[in-house]
């Protein structure tokens, strides 16, 4: 089933398609940074990190750019709010939005990735059910926004406190691709939530049907049996790509190449225009645990030219 669903999305993530989205991401990234740079300060999450990936998702789904603020709020609140009622209310709004989107794309398909997935036959001649289409759209919006934005923020947080390594990337931008893999390894944010379907024992731990569990797959990047000195960011680490931050095998994130491109674009365009920046001590970072450990607020400052 998973393989069939993945095949429906694959055309949107071919090298040619990725290049198109990456080219758009670079234009948008430059625009965002150039608007921010003269100010000498920013709240990185709200001013940059959440905008770049969301704009690309909206382009892929052919949705109005003016929808980005509410979608950013719905996705972030639905994942991170500790207020159960608020989280439920936001998810209800998000679900209604996605259901309406699926119904409109079903009735009047366009040239976007969701329309093509809905109207393409699978190997057995069937097409997506409404339920699966809703799940697919939800995954594209949530996954496309949150993982990239959160990883980007951890990278900015790290570089703000490590000027020597920041200068390395400014002076040697050709090292950014490997540095991107190293950042994905060190700051893995994607964990897997699952429900236990039957009573069992796993390595001595009793699991009961109905239990909610969190499998922190991202911590493989911090395994000293795989990576020497794993807590240290090392731009020369040759096996940096050997992480499971974006899953592995048949479940490897279908958008991993696009995600890597967006992170590289951030590093290339931001460091070219704001090479020296630091944490704003008057407004300390706000961090949050959960299925996606995040920095919810990151205030940065620099000397504006």
Q: Comparing C-alpha atoms, which of 248, 246, 303 is closest to residue 280?
A: 303
State residue 202 phi and psi, 5-degree precision. Answer: -120, 110
Mean pLDDT value across residues 88-94? 92
Which pair of tokens denotes residue 80?
């991170």
Q: What is the pLDDT of residue 127?
A: 92
d(CA 92, CA 18): 32
Q: Virtual CA dihedral for 242, 245, 251, 255, nearest 10 degrees?
A: -100
Mean pLDDT value across residues 27-41? 95
Q: What is the pLDDT of residue 293?
A: 85
Q: What is 83-121 written as a DSSP string?
A: -HHHHHHHHHHHHHHHHHHHHHHHHS--SSHHHHHHTS-
85, pLDDT greater than 80 = yes
Span 223-236, pLDDT tens digits: 999 999 999 999 99
98, pLDDT greater than 80 = yes
Span 217-269, pLDDT tens digits: 888 899 999 999 999 999 999 999 998 888 888 888 888 888 999 999 999 99
The H or E element spanning position 265 is helix 256-273
CA-angle at 237, arms to 262 and 276, nearest 5°:
55
Residue whose token pair is 């940065």: 300
Q: What is the pLDDT of residue 183?
A: 97
d(CA 226, CA 228): 7
Could you tell me if 286 and 263 are in contact, meaning their C-beta atoms sit under 8 angstroms apart? no
pLDDT band at residue 289, thresholds of 50, 70 and 90? confident
Q: What is the pLDDT of residue 254?
A: 87
Q: What is 157-224 written as a DSSP string?
A: HHHHH-HHHHHHHHH-GGGHHHHHHHHHHHT----EEEE--S-EEETTEEE-TT-EEEE-GGGGGG-T
* CA quadruple 86, 91, 92, 94: dihedral sign: positive
Mean pLDDT of the chain, nearest integer: 91
Higher model confidence: residue 188 or residue 305?
188
Span 111-136, pLDDT tens digits: 999 999 999 998 889 999 999 999 99
pLDDT band at residue 147, thresholds of 50, 70 and 90? confident
pLDDT band at residue 140, thresholds of 50, 70 and 90? confident
Q: What is the pLDDT of residue 15?
A: 85
Q: What is the pLDDT of residue 227?
A: 96
82, pLDDT greater than 90 = no
Q: What is the pLDDT of residue 181?
A: 95
The H or E element spanning position 200 is strand 200-202
**Residues in Cβ contact with 112 at an 8 Å cutoff, skipping those fewer than 6 apart:** 60, 61, 62, 105
């Amino acid at each position: 089933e998973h393989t069939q669903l993945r095949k429906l999305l694959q055309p949107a993530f071919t090298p040619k398609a990725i290049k198109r989205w990456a080219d758009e991401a670079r234009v948008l990234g430059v625009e965002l940074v150039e608007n921010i740079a003269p100010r000498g300060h920013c709240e990185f999450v709200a001013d940059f990190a959440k905008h770049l990936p969301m704009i690309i998702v909206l382009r892929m789904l052919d949705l109005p750019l003016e929808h980005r603020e509410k979608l950013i709020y719905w996705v972030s609140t639905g994942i991170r709010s500790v207020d159960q009622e608020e989280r439920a209310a936001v998810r209800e709004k998000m679900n209604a939005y996605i259901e309406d989107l699926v119904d409109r794309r079903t009735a009047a398909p366009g040239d976007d990735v969701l329309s093509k997935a809905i109207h393409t036959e699978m190997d057995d001649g069937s097409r997506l059910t409404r339920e699966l289409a809703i799940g697919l759209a939800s995954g594209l919006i949530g996954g496309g926004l949150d993982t990239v934005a959160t990883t980007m923020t951890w990278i900015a947080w790290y570089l703000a406190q490590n000027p020597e390594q920041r200068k390395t990337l400014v002076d040697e931008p050709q090292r950014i691709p490997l540095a991107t893999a190293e950042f994905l390894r060190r700051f893995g944010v994607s964990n897997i939530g699952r429900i236990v379907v039957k009573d069992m024992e796993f390595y001595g731990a009793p699991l009961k049907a109905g239990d909610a569990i969190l499998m922190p797959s991202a911590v493989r990047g911090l395994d000293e049996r795989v990576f020497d000195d794993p807590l240290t960011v090392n731009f020369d680490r040759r096996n940096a790509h050997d992480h499971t931050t974006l899953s592995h095998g048949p479940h490897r994130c279908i958008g991993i190449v696009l995600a890597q491109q967006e992170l590289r674009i951030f590093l290339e365009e931001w460091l070219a225009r704001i090479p020296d920046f630091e944490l704003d001590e008057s407004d300390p970072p706000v961090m949050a645990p959960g299925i996606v450990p995040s920095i919810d607020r990151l205030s940065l400052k620099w000397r504006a030219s």
